[in-house]
Amino acid sequence: MNPAVDRDEPGKLASGVLAVVVHVAFLALLVFGAAWQQQPPEVVMVDLWNNLPPVPAVKSPAPAPPPPKPEAKPPPPPPPVAKPEPKAMPPKPVPEPKPAPKPDIAIEKEKQEKARREREEKEKAELKKREEAQAEQRKREEREKAEAAKREAVEKQKLAALEKERAAKEAERVRLEKEQNDAAQRLQQMQAAAQNKEFDGFRTKVQEKIKRFVVKAPCAALADPEIVLEMKFFPDGNMIGEPVVRKSSGSSVCDDAVRRAAILAQPLPLPPPGHPMLSQFMNLNLRFKPND
């Protein structure tokens, strides 16, 4: 290089200095831009208000500092061959802050929350009312059951008293009926005994009269003869036909002697006409022991 020629061209030095300054500024811009891209995004807090708060001003990212003014320095030696400059990475998008809730949305949410609380309170009140109604219903049913049980107990007592009274009356009726029956039976027995006694009296009279006509000689040979005669009478004491031997003494001669005595003893002493026992003597069986 010819120094004389260089002195003749003074603009070359200024252009070299300017090129150096531009390269330094470009490098500084790359360094600050990369550092700014690595900063974490700011956290945005959102509050809900009944009224819309004033919208805060969105902070814009701080601008990059201006490059320092070049200072006059002595020209450095010419740089070597320039290497290809690295491509700058595009900056990452900054997330936009969430917008503040609109007044209508906040009011609608408040209305919904209020309606939900009112609905819950209404449901609680209805549930409490139903529970109270059910409790009152159970108490009423218990009272009705207790009253029904009390009425049933009173009815049972009345029925028991009536049954006891009825049983007492029935026992008294049975006792009186038994006494009446016993009295009637005793009266019948007394009447029967009296009738039997009277009957036996008339029968004994008939037997005694017949015995007076019995010839004992045909029966004397017998040990203890007994004869039963069946006789039918008219009301005046006379026999209808002849006596019939129903039980023999074992000797026809003795039997005939008793039969003849009955025929000879007519009329026999029967009950008088109109007597209630006269009908019993219309057909009569008499037992005789001729040796007595």
pLDDT (tens digit, 9 = 90+) per residue, 125-182?
A: 999 999 999 999 999 999 999 999 999 999 999 999 999 999 999 999 999 999 999 9
pLDDT in tens, 73-116: 555 555 555 555 555 565 666 556 555 555 678 888 888 888 99
CATH no. of 201-288: 3.30.1150.10
* pLDDT of the residue at 3: 47
What is the pLDDT, as a whole number, of residue 4?
A: 45
pTM above 0.85, yes or no: no
Q: What is the mean pLDDT of residues 31-52?
A: 58
What phi, psi does 195 have (nearest 5°)? Answer: -65, -45
Sign of the C-alpha dihedral computed for residues 137, 143, 144 and 149 taken in this order = positive
The HSE-up count of residue 74 (CA atoms within 13 Å, CB side) is: 1
HSE-up of residue 26 (Cα within 13 Å, Cβ side): 10
Cis bond before residue 269 (omega within 30° of 0): no
End-to-end CA distance of the chain: 216
Question: Which H/E stretch holds residue 283?
Answer: strand 283-288
What ranges do the domains of the chain cover?
14-99, 201-288
Calpha distance 291→249 (Å, rounded): 11
Q: Are 224 and 243 in contact (CB under 8 A)?
A: no
Rounded alpha-carbon distances, angstroms, from residue 284 to 63, 199, 240 = 169, 11, 11
